[in-house]
Amino acid sequence: MAGFNLKKSSAKKNARRAARRRKQQQRHRGPVMRFKFSRLVLLWILSLILCFGAYLYKVNFHPEELERKSKTTDSSSSESASYAPAIPPVPEGSAAPVDESSVLSETEQPSGENENSGDESSVPVPSGTAKINPVPESAAQTADYLRECAFIGETNIYNLGRSGLLQPYSVYASERLTLQNYMREYVLLDGTTIRITSAIKAADCPIYLMFGTESLSDHPADQLADQFRTLLNDVRAAAPEATIYVLSIPPVTAAAEKAEKPILNSVIDDYNSRLLNICNEENVYFVDTNTALKSNDSRLDPHFAMEDGIHLTTEAGQILLNYVLTHVPA
């Protein structure tokens, strides 16, 4: 009987030991999935990196999507909040960018200028009264006229703003802007980078275009003229109420014609002639600033050129703007 009780007691002890072991094993095993805060932080960081990468991709390869979202967000705001070039009032006593007394007379301009008007009798005119091109000489406008205009173009236009001949808000240009990339390239306007077609949206001020100088060494004149027509149509679509003026591109020096990548004045003349035809066909104004800058040998005087023989000095920019002021249709 004593042996039976001893066995029974031993069995109970063994059962209690087995129960304790099972509980200990369950505690050590823990839950099937453990929550780790470090993994959550890692996932959050990876999400931020992916979102930032997607934003950079859209900015560089699909900027139009961002502009479309911006326009949708601002659609309920007033029209004055758009990127149309609203010319701010001129503060009293501020200096004008061009001195009226410095406007050169025709006899003081570099020689070689001629007033060849295009034959418009056979040119189809889209609408309105046919423009007289090249624009003939007129009474000189005051310097305030330039404050009401938008100048769009490449390095030569950009330099007009950098030198102070034009107000910054009147210049829509950059040193990288060309006929090939104007739909992708951005210009700086009032601290904001924006494409030119968006910057002039719904503008009704005079718009002056000068394009082609930066591309003539790499592209034929006829191809550039076709690209310019596309640009002109895009500008007209963006600002249908604006009066558009096309500026002929300036000549280059003799040294630029002999450079490693030469630009020939004969090619420039061919290109400008094609621009004149386009202006007649599209019924926009053509201002022959090229002849205002030609010397007796039909080239750009080195005195008016920067070191490359292509881009204009501040003095030459002044002559160009003087010509613009004296060639505005009534």
Digit-by-digit pLDDT tens for the chain (330 residues) are: 555 565 666 777 777 777 777 776 666 555 555 556 777 788 888 888 888 777 776 655 555 454 444 444 444 443 333 334 444 433 333 333 444 444 333 334 444 334 343 343 333 445 568 899 999 999 999 999 999 999 999 999 999 999 999 999 999 999 999 999 999 999 988 778 999 999 999 999 999 999 999 999 899 999 999 999 999 999 999 999 999 999 999 999 999 999 999 999 999 999 999 999 999 999 999 999 999 999 999 999 999 999 999 999 999 999 999 999 999 998
Q: Are residues 50 and 138 in the same domain?
A: no
Same domain as 178, residue 58 = no
pLDDT in the model for residue 196: 92
Task: Judge if 162 and 224 occupy the same domain.
Answer: yes
Residue 75 in tokens: 């659609």
Q: Is residue 85 a part of any domain in this protein?
A: no
**What stretch of H or E contains 245?**
strand 244-247
Whole-number pLDDT of residue 8: 62
In a domain, 92, yes or no: no
Question: CB 156: neighbour CB atoms within 10 A?
Answer: 25
3-state class (DSSP) for residue 95: coil
Does 199 lie in the same domain as 151? yes
Question: Are 234 and 149 in the same domain?
Answer: yes
- Closest Cα partner for 235 from 330, 112, 151? 151
Task: For residue 210, give the CATH number of its domain.
Answer: 3.40.50.1110
Asked whether residue 82 is domain-assigned, the answer is no
Regarding whether 303 and 182 lie in a shared domain, the answer is yes
Considering its fold, how many domains does the chain have in total? Answer: 2
Q: Is residue 193 domain-shared with residue 140, that is, in the same domain?
A: yes
Cα torsion through 204, 206, 212, 214, rounded to 10: -90
Q: Looking at the structure, tell me whether residues 59 and 206 fall in a common domain.
A: no
Residues 139 and 241 in one domain: yes
Domain containing residue 62: 39-71
In a domain, 22, yes or no: no
Whether residue 198 sits in one domain with residue 58: no
